[in-house]
Structure 1
Amino acid sequence: MDLLLVFLGFICIIIGIMGSFLPVLPGLSSSWVGLLLLYLTKAVENNYWVLGITFIIMITVTILDYIIPAKGTKRFGGSSYGVWGTNIGLIVGIFAPIPFGIIIGPFAGAFIGEIIYDSKNHKRALKAATGSLIGFLASSFINFLLSIVFLGLFLNLLWQNKANLFL
């Protein structure tokens, strides 16, 4: 049973890494579940501090995933129309059957939202859409970094407990 939990945990970690760039897949939350599965084995002693701290980090970053692109739009001079456009574009981009829809969606959404707000100022709309794109890329980078940290934690625990796991 322990080997199955280790295997499923590793799969969750890999899905989490891929999910940091593909929002259709669960990102950091999947990586955290991978850590949890490793801790559920009989070979690895539970460490509630590690699980608790990584859980709080995962929840915080997951919330920030939805805030950062909108804040990027606002920071680059976007209006509430651009912020709403970013959020709507993010959702549409996830489900759109186009390559890089998750990147194009928030950018296009912010641009369209700003054009609706002020149809004469295309330069401002483009600037707000660029802020949305930068916010999305920053959010993805943070997710990727933390997913790699969770992978490192997983592999470290696996290495420390290899004698108990692989008898």
Structure 2
Amino acid sequence: MDVLGWILIIVLFVVGMAGAVYPILPGALAIYAAFFVYGLFFSFGPFGFWFWTIQTLIVAVLFVADYVVNAWGVKKYGGSKASIWGSTIGILIGPFVIPAFGLIIGPFAGAVIGELIHGSSADRAIKVGWGALVGLFTSTVVKFILQAAMIALFVVWLIAY
């Protein structure tokens, strides 16, 4: 049973880290679930109040930062609320419409379309689309770092226990 427990934990960590890049995967929630799998298979003993508080705060920051950083990229390049919505929709549906490149094309196209609907010129819309990509890549880096920190904290907590 120990081997099965560790396999599930590692799979959840891998899915979680893949979720930093591929937004349709659960990301931080998969990593958070791995902690419960550890508790169910082994023990919740190592995890006290501070572990759960820190991990929950990281997850909350991840959810807020994901939207805020993406919106920041669009806003920094002069985008409207329509382009922010377009970019967000593009992130969600892009990978399904264009499997190989939809993750990049989706937010760009969504922001451009949103900005064109808002009434901006094509040049401005393309500039805002680039801002959506800047926000996407920045958000991905932030998610990757924070999710890696969640896993590192888990390992350190177990070693210290």
When normalised by structure 1's length, the TM-score is 0.83
Greater radius of gyration (CA)? 1
Q: Offset at 1:71?
A: 2.6
Aligned equivalent of 2:43: 42
Matches of 1:78 and 1:52, distance apart in 2: 36
The percent identity for this pair of structures is 34
Cα deviations across residues 62-106 of structure 1 (Å, max 9, x unaligned)?
232123212311221012221221122122214224312122111
Q: Offset at 1:60?
A: 2.2
| Structure 2 residue 72 is the aligned partner of structure 1 residue 71 | yes
Matches of 2:114 and 2:98, distance apart in 1: 21
Q: Is the 8 A contact 1:13 1:151 kept in 2?
A: yes
Aligned residues: 160
Q: Is the 8 A contact 2:9 2:38 kept in 1?
A: yes
Q: Offset at 1:33?
A: 1.6
| Pairing 1:70-89 to 2, within 5 Å after superposition | 70-89=71-90
Q: Is the 8 A contact 2:23 2:91 kept in 1?
A: no
Aligned equivalent of 2:137: 137
SS at match of 1:29: helix
Aligned equivalent of 2:156: 156
When normalised by structure 2's length, the TM-score is 0.85
RMSD over aligned Cα, in angstroms?
A: 2.2
Q: Offset at 1:2?
A: 4.3
Q: Is the 8 A contact 1:35 1:150 kept in 2?
A: no
Q: Is the 8 A contact 2:90 2:109 kept in 1?
A: yes
Deviates more, 1:91-100 or 1:15-24: 91-100
Aligned equivalent of 1:4: 4
| Structure 2 residue 116 is the aligned partner of structure 1 residue 115 | yes
Unmatched segments (≥5 aa) in structure 2: none
